[in-house]
Amino acid sequence: MHTNDPKGRILAATREVSPSERRSDNILLLRYSEQRSPELLEQLAERFMPLARSLAMRYHGGGEPLEDLVQVASLGLVKAIEGYDPSLGKPFNAYAVPTILGELRRHFRDRVWNLHLPRSLQEATMQVDGAVDKLTELNGRPPTVGEIAAHLEVETEDVLEAMGAAEARRTLSLDAPRRGEDGETSAAIESVGSEDPGYDRVEAELASATADLSDRERLILELRFQQGMTQSEIGARLGVSQMQISRLMRRALRTLLDSVRGDDDGS
């Protein structure tokens, strides 16, 4: 995902400082680099805390409390102050921002996300999360994909990719209960995976034409195995959920298999 100089926008969004305040900050940073005084470190941390907080806010919405993110950003700020060398002539904010962001990203990588994603995708998902929160608060409703893309100045495909990654970044027990569109609760494992189409097709073709199937079940099997439609497409056509189609198909295939085996109880 590409943005137009996001780091520049971060720097511009941090606290407004006058030339005299900037000179004062530079003097303190220079003194700290020479003396390493705990009192100066505390004073500098307090003065640059708005920067750390503003960066933490960018990652709010990823499932972590804001207080925890501010604490992580504060740690990054202290590291930046301790590692900054004024003699190199680089502005402190330009050095501190990537240091603080690095701490925030590391926090999400190591302690928050169960599924580790590529770094660029991690950054993209958190940018989308932040945009959703901001636009929801601004508009009083969840934003559309197009609105998020316009806000971040990226393509809609990038937003969709980030949203997909956000769904996948936390793992879920396959035994965890999940409520379907029909209001029924079942284990999450019931909604994942798919049948082997080749095996199912053989079962369907071998079944007796007189198998005890309902008209709906026959139609579902025809759409799936003769017309090659997916379960989601069949559900959309019949006006039911993909999970219901999956259940009906499994029941129909069991009936067909029982017919081939000559079972009478239908179990």
pLDDT attached to residue 76: 92
3-state secondary structure 59-123: CCCCCCCHHHHHHHHHHHHHHHHHHCCHHHCCCHHHHHHHHHHHHHHHHHHHHHCCCCCCHHHHH
Q: What's the token pair of residue 183?
A: 């209001």
pLDDT attached to residue 199: 52
Q: What's the token pair of residue 218?
A: 């026959």
Residue with tokens 């969004």: 13
**Cα–Cα distance measured from residue 50 to residue 155, given in angstroms and rounded to the nearest whole number:** 31
Secondary structure of residue 211 in the 3-state scheme: coil
Residue of 110, 162, 116, 223 lying closest to 2 (CA atoms): 162
* Cβ contact 136:142 at 8 Å: yes
Q: What's the token pair of residue 174?
A: 């396959």
Domains of the chain (ranges; CATH) run: 1-112 (1.10.601.10), 114-171 (1.10.10.10), 191-261 (1.10.10.10)
Q: What is the pLDDT along the chain (267 residues), one digit of tens a residue?
A: 434 444 444 443 444 557 778 888 899 999 999 999 999 999 999 999 999 998 888 777 656 688 888 999 999 999 999 999 999 988 998 889 888 988 887 776 666 555 555 667 667 777 887 788 778 878 878 888 888 889 999 888 888 877 776 655 555 555 555 555 566 666 555 555 555 555 555 555 555 454 677 888 888 888 888 888 888 899 899 998 988 888 888 888 888 777 766 655 444
pTM value is 0.42
* Cβ contact 105:122 at 8 Å: yes
* Cβ contact 125:162 at 8 Å: yes
